[in-house]
Chains A and B, each alone.
Chain A
């Protein structure tokens, strides 16, 4: 039955071929990413910049004001900041296997007794299930930090022109002043975030 549908679709194409048909874009043979939105208390409008690679397989987000702080000079709600990215993941038709990688980096300045946390929640739009990664930094700490998450994935997509799904990536920074001297300040910044999808195997059995 699928064959018959394909034949009919082909017939439609031929019927139209006399008219100047606009060339449909052939879907990529690999997984690509588009950054749809960047927003949160750590990346208010105008404070983050997005750079996407020409082949759409990786991106950078550069932050200018993503800082969580506690202690002297900090407001009561400043100890936690977040930034949520909505990414459109374009998956080609067929079976795809690859590796997704995310790197987060910034600076930490933590007094003895203070603790810093960097966490990330991942979830697909419309789904309640959330995956969380969490890392902690213990004061005294005064250095750059960077963390990489790497996940293997496999996808089977039946729809001939591939599938788009929105992945939400919500990162957060948190600083607990703990037993640190109340007259001091501890902070964590996120300076950049990088995401990449590497397609290692791809088999397709239909054509868009």
Chain B
């Protein structure tokens, strides 16, 4: 098959008249671009994005994504969110893949307090929203890490593939529970969010002209 691909490549190179832009054929897998990162947990200038060379994975790091209750905390500090807006490039045909997200951070929770890390996944073209949450109970004063997986499937008729939105709304919450908020502080922070889409299978029935 590689031979055929190479031969086709060769043929297309010869056919293209000189001077015309050399269009790259769309890849046979899903790729991701990070469009915006915004929310109360990631105001402008506090988040940094790194996308992998092959556009299959990305890392967002935060400098100020922290939810807290107790001494020093304002009443609205118990919940913070950060919304990641991704542009997903889907090849022509039927594509099925697995999107994985890894969340890493730190939590200091007094006895009786607890924290929730939650994410909502919305993939344009799929009817249902997917959401997952993870709970951490105090006493806890250490790093935490959570992993979510969600399926993505798409049927794209347009021969050169399509760009779709993939929205991930992440949030952190802390509840004081039975802990004493007059003398203690409980908090949860997120250091990074990593996302990756692995294309499991892909069938195309047209070729991009």
Residues of A within 8 A of B (CB): 1-2, 4-5, 8-9, 11-12, 15-16, 19, 36-41, 43-45, 75-77, 79-80, 82, 84, 86, 88, 119, 121, 123, 125-128, 130, 132, 164-166, 168, 170, 172
Contacts and interface: CB of A to CB of B under 8 A. Distances in A.
Nearest to B65: A41
Interface in B70-123: 70-73, 100, 102, 104, 106, 108
B49 A9 contact: no
A126 B57 contact: yes
Interface of B: 2-3, 5-7, 9-10, 13-14, 18, 45-50, 52-54, 56-59, 61-64, 66, 68, 70-73, 100, 102, 104, 106, 108, 143, 145, 147, 184-185, 187, 189, 191-192, 194-196
A39 B63 contact: yes
A164 B6 contact: no
B102 A172 contact: no
B10 A40 contact: no
Contacts of A168: 59, 192, 194
Q: Which applies to chain B's interface (DSSP): helix, strand, loop or mixed?
A: strand
Nearest to A88: B53
B104 A170 contact: yes
A95 to B, nearest CB: 21
B192 A36 contact: no
Contact of B6 (A5, A36, A79, A123): A5
Contacts of B64: 41, 44
B151 to A, nearest CB: 17
Given A77-B66, A125-B50, A1 B3 contact: yes
A15 B18 contact: no
Contacts of A39: 46-48, 61-63
B48 A37 contact: yes
A128 B102 contact: yes
A125 B101 CA distance: 10
A80 B52 contact: no
B52 A126 contact: yes
Given A12-B13, A170-B191, A4 B52 contact: no
B196 A121 contact: no
A41 B53 contact: no
- Most chain A CB within 10 A, of B7, B49, B102, B189, is at B102
A12 B11 CA distance: 9
Contacts of B185: 76-77
Contacts of B9: 8-9, 12
A8 B62 contact: no
B13 A125 contact: no
A76 B72 contact: yes
27 contacts: A1-B2, A12-B9, A12-B10, A15-B13, A37-B48, A39-B62, A40-B62, A40-B191, A41-B189, A43-B63, A45-B46, A45-B63, A76-B72, A76-B73, A77-B108, A84-B61, A84-B192, A86-B59, A119-B143, A123-B104, A123-B194, A125-B52, A125-B194, A128-B100, A130-B145, A132-B143, A165-B52
B187 A170 contact: no
